[in-house]
Amino acid sequence: MRIINTSGKRKTAVARATFRPGKGVVRINSLLLDVFSTELARMKISEPLQLLPGVLEGVDVSIKVAGGGIMGQAEAARTALARGIVKWHNDPRMKDVYHVYDRSLLVNDSRQKEAKKPHGRGARKKFQKSYR
């Protein structure tokens, strides 16, 4: 039996996807993709499936996502899903289709929150001076 594990990250969200032979069902945190979170998050996650229709026939996908917010989790799950599809089919043309559409389908987004600095409330904001 063939099993493939992939992962995806976005900010602090981490998604781990498991691909195995099955009926073409996609589950995220044990919920079907059709009922997961908001409609915008579902659309984001299903982008790899819409670019290559019928690519998950005979493959069950189970994705576990933790950390971050709703959209961070959605983008992490989308990266894990796209990477798994490419790895499952082992077809470089699929990789090219994803890469042309959006590079973050196959590559983790490396952007992080900027660190807080001293003498201020955040990364850039500084406390006010008042000396009059």
Beta-sheet strand order (sheet of 13-21): 4-10, 13-21, 59-66, 26-28, 31-32
Dihedral sign (CA 89, 91, 97, 99): positive
Q: Quick one: DSSP state of residue 109?
A: B
Instruction: Kindly give the confidence (pLDDT) of every residue in the chain, 132 residues in length, as a single tens digit, with 9 standing for 90 and above.
Output: 899 999 999 989 999 999 999 999 999 999 999 998 899 999 999 999 999 999 999 999 999 999 999 999 999 999 999 999 999 999 999 999 999 999 889 998 888 889 999 999 999 999 988 876
Question: Which sequence spans correspond to the domains of the chain?
Answer: 4-105
Residue 113 phi/psi, 5-degree rounding, is -65, 140
In CATH, what class is 4-105?
alpha beta
pTM of the model: 0.86
